[in-house]
């Protein structure tokens, strides 16, 4: 029996000192990042689910702090590591720790797929792209003591989610997680220049069959009877008919959940009603900018987001009228952004009635067309400084303001947006509008279905 340690890097920390200090006094500001950092690595749990139990023993660990590394077991026959971009170098330190002890290491995920050469320098095997179709080969090679340096599919991005395994949620310590992730789809039809997830793992949008999603949720409920689910999708609801079927089934599960989507959901009242009835609490939408000029050109193909800009306020109001809060995400430092953009974001947030807001720096992630373009234009502040890819550190030189102006404008904006007054005003406004809405229906109390069963 071979032993495999699945190790996820967690706990991304910004390096920007002023923002770190602010985070302590403006908790709302770092909330979403904290939530992401505390989610388990669904990718590793999925690979664990593909690992035959009769041939392998598996363990799942997370490392937020490298000082804890010596506490982890070393008696593994293989260690599989996944990481956020900002912790790439720490993940490499973990790999070095195991390689020095003679333990083979395999690394994968979006960042590693974007940086195969750099990763290979740590004497590890690299899995490129989607892990599921390649993992059985890794296991076979492990058993015969002949791991390859690189695992790559001959048909990248073609994994059919109908064959997705049940993730090993049972490997998680139930006390440590209050949000559990489930993937219902992979990919996104938009091709934002700065987005790695829509290009590095899959070439097309694909969905997981309804019965598989429901089976995962039921598996989660065996461990967490009243879970809060976060759908680990790039963009849910793209295939409307499929999602309507899924939502009808989800409604029977008595859940609360969150997902990421785009403003198109607001066009479809039936969909919004089904989302409400299925327990959707919040949707996160990458609005990116209140400025049409800043939205122009952010996608590689169409200017879809720029064309939606006039519709943003109406879409937010419609979605929220169903009792589903919108977390609107804005990026500052986009090429057309001038120092006026900070006030424009503030005013948009105020008069759109957004319940929640997230503002981040425009960040060049490895493997993206954005990184390549800015590198050609000599606008990457420090090449390969992946630790700055936290979204709260600046790794690019903006085009129409200085780095100092970007930093100062951002600080001023987040202080305003996340002040107690501003936050309570957003909450109050949401509730005021909801009272007047005929689309809202109070959800059934959580757990009633379980009690009745
Ligand atoms: S809409 Fe979001 S997920 Fe889709 S390509 Fe743009 S950034 Fe990526």
Per-residue pLDDT band for 98 (boundaries 50, 70, 90) equals: very high
Per-residue pLDDT band for 450 (boundaries 50, 70, 90) equals: very low
Lowest mean pLDDT among 13-22, 209-218, 260-269: 13-22
Report whether 33 contacts 12 (CB < 8 A): yes
Q: How far is the CA of 187 from the centre of ligand 1 (A)?
A: 8
User: Does the C-beta of 320 come closer than 6 Å to ligand 1?
Assistant: no
Which ligand 1 atom is nearest residue 234's CA? 3
Report whether 368 contacts 67 (CB < 8 A): no
- Whether the predicted pLDDT of 451 surpasses 50: no
Q: How far is the CA of 118 from the centre of ligand 1 (A)?
A: 26
Q: Please choose from 110, 189, 191, 195 the residue to mutate so as to test ligand 1's pocket, defined by most ligand atoms within 8 A of CB.
A: 195
pLDDT of 348-407, one tens digit each? 999 999 999 999 999 999 999 999 999 999 999 999 999 999 999 999 999 999 999 999
Q: Please choose from 196, 197, 327 the residue to mutate so as to test ligand 1's pocket, defined by most ligand atoms within 8 A of CB.
A: 197
Q: How far is the CA of 298 from the centre of ligand 1 (A)?
A: 10
Per-residue model confidence (pLDDT) at position 302: 84
Query: CA angle at residue 363 from 361 to 365, to 5 degrees?
Result: 160
pLDDT of 222-238, one tens digit each? 999 999 999 999 999 99
Per-residue model confidence (pLDDT) at position 173: 92
- How many residues are given for the chain? 453
- Whether the predicted pLDDT of 51 surpasses 90: yes
Lowest mean pLDDT among 166-170, 239-243, 417-421: 417-421
User: Does the C-beta of 344 come closer than 6 Å to ligand 1?
Assistant: no
Percent with pLDDT over 90 in the chain = 83
Picking from 359, 348, 358, 279, the residue whose alpha carbon sits closest to that of residue 315 is: 348
Which ligand 1 atom is nearest residue 305's CA? 1
Helix (H, G, I), strand (E, B) or coil at 253: helix
The average pLDDT across 410-430 equals 94
- For residues 269 and 19, give the distance between their C-alpha atoms in angstroms, rounded to a whole number: 39
Per-residue model confidence (pLDDT) at position 318: 97
Kindly report the protein residue whose alpha carbon is nearest to atom 7 of ligand 1: 195
Per-residue pLDDT band for 200 (boundaries 50, 70, 90) equals: confident
Specify the pairing of strand 185-186 against strand 206-207. Answer: antiparallel
Helix (H, G, I), strand (E, B) or coil at 315: helix
User: Does the C-beta of 234 come closer than 6 Å to ligand 1?
Assistant: yes
User: Does the C-beta of 122 come closer than 6 Å to ligand 1?
Assistant: no
- Whether the predicted pLDDT of 70 surpasses 80: yes
Report whether 51 contacts 58 (CB < 8 A): yes
Computed over every residue of the chain, the mean pLDDT equals: 92
Query: CA angle at residue 189 from 186 to 193, to 5 degrees?
Result: 105
Q: Which residue has the tokens 């800043």?
A: 294
Per-residue model confidence (pLDDT) at position 34: 67
pLDDT of 281-335, one tens digit each? 999 999 999 999 999 999 988 899 999 999 999 999 999 999 999 999 999 999 9
Q: Please choose from 235, 237, 328 the residue to mutate so as to test ligand 1's pocket, defined by most ligand atoms within 8 A of CB.
A: 235
Which ligand 1 atom is nearest residue 191's CA? 5
Per-residue pLDDT band for 446 (boundaries 50, 70, 90) equals: low
Lowest mean pLDDT among 12-26, 118-132, 190-204: 12-26
User: Does the C-beta of 235 come closer than 6 Å to ligand 1?
Assistant: yes
User: Does the C-beta of 238 come closer than 6 Å to ligand 1?
Assistant: no
Per-residue pLDDT band for 36 (boundaries 50, 70, 90) equals: low
Per-residue model confidence (pLDDT) at position 156: 87
- Whether the predicted pLDDT of 75 surpasses 60: yes
- Whether the predicted pLDDT of 448 surpasses 80: no
The average pLDDT across 191-205 equals 84
Kindly report the protein residue whose alpha carbon is nearest to atom 3 of ligand 1: 234
pLDDT of 116-149, one tens digit each? 999 999 999 999 999 999 999 999 999 999 999 9
Extended strands (E) in 277-420: 280-288, 325-332, 356-361
- Whether the predicted pLDDT of 15 surpasses 90: no
- Whether the predicted pLDDT of 270 surpasses 80: yes
User: Does the C-beta of 191 come closer than 6 Å to ligand 1?
Assistant: yes
Kindly report the protein residue whose alpha carbon is nearest to atom 8 of ligand 1: 195
At 19, list the tokens.
Answer: 């923002």
């Amino acid at each position: 029996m071979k032993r495999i340690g699945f190790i996820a890097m967690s706990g991304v920390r910004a390096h920007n000192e002023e923002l770190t200090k602010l985070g302590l006094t403006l908790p709302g500001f770092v909330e979403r990042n904290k939530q992401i950092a505390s989610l388990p690595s669904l990718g590793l749990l999925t690979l664990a689910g593909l690992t035959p139990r009769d041939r392998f023993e598996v363990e799942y660990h997370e490392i937020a702090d490298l000082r804890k590394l010596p506490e982890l077991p070393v008696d593994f026959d293989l260690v599989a590591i996944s990481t956020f971009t900002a912790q790439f170098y720490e993940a490499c330190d973990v790999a070095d720790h195991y390689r020095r002890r003679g333990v083979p290491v395999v690394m994968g995920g979006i960042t590693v797929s974007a940086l195969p050469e750099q990763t290979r320098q740590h004497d590890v095997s690299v899995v490129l792209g989607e892990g599921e179709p390649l993992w059985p080969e890794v296991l076979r090679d492990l058993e015969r003591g002949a791991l390859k340096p690189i695992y790559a599919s001959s048909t990248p991005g073609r994994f059919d989610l109908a064959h997705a395994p049940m993730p090993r949620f049972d490997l998680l310590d139930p006390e440590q997680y209050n949000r559990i992730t489930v993937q219902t789809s992979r990919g996104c039809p938009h091709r934002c220049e700065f987005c790695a997830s829509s290009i590095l793992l899959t070439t097309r949008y694909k969905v997981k069959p309804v019965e598989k999603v429901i089976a995962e949720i039921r598996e989660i409920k065996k461990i967490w009877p009243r879970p809060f689910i976060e759908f680990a999708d790039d963009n849910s609801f793209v295939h409307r008919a499929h999602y309507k079927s899924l939502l009808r089934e989800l409604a029977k599960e008595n859940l609360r959940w969150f997902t990421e989507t785009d403003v198109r959901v607001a066009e479809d009242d039936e969909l919004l009603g089904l989302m409400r009835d299925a327990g959707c609490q919040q949707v996160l939408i990458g609005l990116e900018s209140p400025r049409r000029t800043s939205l122009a050109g952010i996608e590689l193909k169409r200017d879809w987001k720029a064309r939606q800009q006039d519709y943003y306020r109406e879409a937010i109001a419609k979605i929220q009228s169903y009792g589903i809060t919108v977390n609107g995400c804005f990026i500052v430092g986009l090429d057309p952004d001038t120092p006026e953009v900070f006030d424009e974001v503030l005013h948009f947030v105020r008069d759109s009635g957004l319940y929640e807001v997230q503002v981040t720096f425009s960040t060049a992630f490895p493997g993206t067309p954005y990184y390549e373009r800015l590198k050609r234009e000599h606008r990457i502040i420090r090449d390969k400084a992946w630790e700055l890819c936290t979204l709260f550190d600046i790794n690019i030189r903006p085009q129409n303001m200085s780095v100092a102006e970007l930093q100062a404008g951002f600080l001023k904006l987040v202080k305003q947006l996340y002040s107690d007054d501003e936050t309570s005003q957003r909450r109050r406004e949401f509730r005021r509008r909801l009272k007047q809405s005929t689309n809202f229906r109070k959800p059934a109390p959580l757990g009633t279905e379980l009690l009745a069963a």
